[in-house]
Amino acid sequence: MARELTHQEQLLGNKVVYQIYVRSFCDSNGDGVGDLAGITSKLDYLAELGVDCVWITPFFVSPQNDNGYDVADYRAIDPLFGTMADFEELACEASRRGMELMLDMVFNHTSTEHEWFQRALSGDPTYLAYYKFVDAAPGATAADPGEPPTNWESKFGGNAWEYVPSLNKWYLHLFDVSQADLNWDNPAVRAELADVLRFWRGKGVNAFRFDVVNLISKPDTWENDAEGDGRRFYSDGPHIHEFLQELVREGGIDGLLTVGEMSSTSLESCIGYTNPTHHELAMAFNFHHLKVDYQDGDKWALARPNIAALRDLFVTWQEQMTAGGGWNSLFWSNHDQPRPNSRFGDTERFWFESSTLLPTCTHLMRGTPYIYQGEELGQTIMDFASIDQYRDVESLNYYRILQERGHAAEEAFAIVRARSRDDGRYPMAWDGSPAAGFTSGEPWIGLPANHERINVATEKDDEGSVLAYFMRLIRLRKAEAVIQAGDVRFVDAGNDCVIAYERTLDDTRLLVQCNFSGEEVPALPTDGGELLVGNYAQPAANVLGPWEARAHIWR
């Protein structure tokens, strides 16, 4: 007798989400910056690709110090990206094609240009209570403010506190100094943010992504971190689950397609966030698997990817999230990550194989796959030659910080080139023209030279392209119940470079094998199985080729 699928599996198991970095997707007016009307113009492409939901990075009013993740007005469109009428047309046209829009809500902090923060700076006690302000010592001055409340480090470098002389107070900013952390302990703040969700629900939005949402609950007392940078005090904080439950309830989003970005989180917390009986979020992003090439856990210290550690993380998160009733987001790439094919593969010698190995590995897992714009084309990291070509505030900060730590300028640049968020932020390549069909003007950031061959126009009619391979994976998820809802169990392939797992549902079994190396390795036996998908035209029976991925099915 066939197992009945759970509501969670029915809602999420056959969905595929596509992420758009709005300023880099498509520019409709020639100013060099992508916009909402540009997205509307490409909806047919997304519909043909087969995605169900389109996640758009923030397009709200912002000074753009962190490319829109510093919001100055949650209810207004930044003129850089268009108008409210443009958004309403986009929402209508997406709905007409059966796609949902996922808005990116930055609720841990606001821009210091937000009206709330500006009123706090004026000394208004109501709005001082909207943020995490702490009194400085008596007699503190701009020249000598004394010690900050804690030694916590900002995610973008430097101390996480900024002194305001006119108030004789410090405010917390876990990110850029222009991104002040909100005080979620204040019920008025929580009510404001729930109202923001209701506003966009009124515009027809049915999906939401919450930026670094597991950082919103800060500790009740301020304490120095003698062991690290402070993150252990504010990640998955003391009131996080009650805050999320209230936001979901009051914002009217229970049961919708929602995802939380979870920074430095734990497995137990993510089960709590995503188990549907808790009424928090539908799924969660965790980033542990994207740190396996961090030397000693340091993003800015390069190391070769540890594939054995990557496998262990997939085992833990896939099998235990399933056992705990949680739900995974499946991804390699987003606007904060270097292009994964360059990072985990060999795009010089095995570009196609590296670009298709990674989605084969994760798209067939249990969870909801995410595709980041250009990933489906095999876009690679940037080939910038100078730090002046970068735009990302984090990259520019760390180019300086790395040199302060003793690296030569050339070493610091090599690290930034491998790790920069701008590696994933350059424009989508629509064709091989100088501006890649992205704009009729000058792009806000440069393009790699290989966009002349890695682009939509080149790949769309090529059945052997990376784009065609992604489309096949999407169709398989929608067609095969074992991919949508099957149990997952990892298999020892006898090689640290191979990640292999089984999915099972009723009498159907799927075996996935992925070789994360440039060498041939033994393959697991597949006698009697049907080759469902693979990135080699003629796979050898007993051997996996360099960067080869394949999946067999038994029915």
For residues 349 and 444, state if they share a domain.
yes
Tell me if 69 is assigned to some domain: yes
For residues 65 and 142, state if they share a domain.
no
Domain ends where: 138, 154, 181? 181
pTM here is 0.96
Question: Exactly one of 78, 86, 261, 293 is catalytic; which is it?
Answer: 261
For residues 326 and 280, state if they share a domain.
yes
CATH number of the domain where residue 521 is located: 2.60.40.1180
52 annotated active-site: no
For residues 515 and 550, state if they share a domain.
yes
Domain ends where: 439, 470, 501? 470
At residue 252, the pLDDT reads 98
Name the domain count of the chain: 3
Tokens of 139: 């007699």
* 157 pLDDT tier (thresholds 50, 70, 90): confident
Tell me if 308 is assigned to some domain: yes
* 176 pLDDT tier (thresholds 50, 70, 90): very high
For residues 498 and 463, state if they share a domain.
no
pLDDT of 497 > 80? The answer is yes
Write the pLDDT tens digit of every residue in 387-444. 999 999 899 999 999 999 999 999 999 999 999 999 999 999 999 999 999 999 999 9
For residues 145 and 226, state if they share a domain.
no
For residues 137 and 103, state if they share a domain.
no
Say how many CA atoms lie within 13 Å of 80 toward its Cβ. Answer: 17
At residue 54, the pLDDT reads 98
For residues 541 and 512, state if they share a domain.
yes
Domain membership of residue 490 as a residue range: 486-554
Report which DSSP code applies to 34. Answer: -
CATH number of the domain where residue 297 is located: 3.20.20.80
Tell me if 402 is assigned to some domain: no
Write the pLDDT tens digit of every residue in 225-277. 999 999 999 999 999 999 999 999 999 999 999 999 999 999 999 999 999 99
* 327 pLDDT tier (thresholds 50, 70, 90): very high
Pairwise CA distance, residues 449 & 427, whole Å = 12
Question: Exactly one of 52, 100, 211, 293 is catalytic; which is it?
Answer: 211
Write the pLDDT tens digit of every residue in 338-391. 999 999 999 999 999 999 999 999 999 999 999 999 999 999 999 999 999 999
pLDDT of 2 > 90? The answer is no
Tell me if 413 is assigned to some domain: no
Pairwise CA distance, residues 547 & 346, whole Å = 8
At residue 272, the pLDDT reads 97
Tell me if 530 is assigned to some domain: yes
423 annotated active-site: no
Domain ends where: 411, 438, 470? 470
Pairwise CA distance, residues 361 & 372, whole Å = 16
CATH number of the domain where residue 133 is located: 3.90.400.10
For residues 67 and 215, state if they share a domain.
yes
Q: Which residues of 18-51 are buried (b: 16+ CB within 10 A; e: fewer)?
A: bbbbbbbbbbbeeebbbbbbbbbbbbebbbebbb
pLDDT of 179 > 80? The answer is yes
Strand-pairing partners, residue 20, are 56
Mean pLDDT of the residues in the chain: 97
pLDDT of 1 > 80? The answer is no
pLDDT of 18 > 80? The answer is yes
A 10 A CB-CB count for 204 gives 14
Tokens of 407: 């690296």
Bridge-based pairing state of the strands 530-534 and 549-554:
antiparallel
